[in-house]
Amino acid sequence: MDERVFGAKEAEEPARPVYEAMRRGFFGKCPHCGRGRLFRAFLKTVDECQACGEEISHHRADDLPAYLVIVIVGHVVIGAFMGVQAMTDWPTWLHMALWTPLTLLMSLALIGPVKGAVVGLQWALRMHGFGGEEDIVETCPER
Q: Give the C-alpha separation, 126 to 141, whole Å.
A: 27
Rg (CA), the chain: 20
Supply the DSSP symbol for 127.
-
What pLDDT score does 1 carry? 44
Q: Are 29 and 36 in contact (CB under 8 A)?
A: yes
What pLDDT score does 119 carry? 94
Give SS3 for 100. Answer: helix
What pLDDT score does 62 carry? 87
Q: Are 49 and 82 in contact (CB under 8 A)?
A: no
What pLDDT score does 58 carry? 83
Supply the DSSP symbol for 124.
H
Supply the DSSP symbol for 43.
S
* pTM confidence score: 0.81
What pLDDT score does 142 carry? 72
138, burial (CB in 10 Å: exposed 0-12, middle 13-18, buried 19+): exposed
What pLDDT score does 12 carry? 73
Nearest to 56 by CA among 115, 11, 139: 115
Buried b (16+ CB within 10 A) or exposed e, 42-74: eeebbeebeeeebebeebebeeebeebbeeebe
What pLDDT score does 138 carry? 63
Q: Which residues of the chain have pLDDT under 50?
A: 1-2, 6
How many residues does this entry show for the chain?
Answer: 143
What pLDDT score does 107 carry? 98
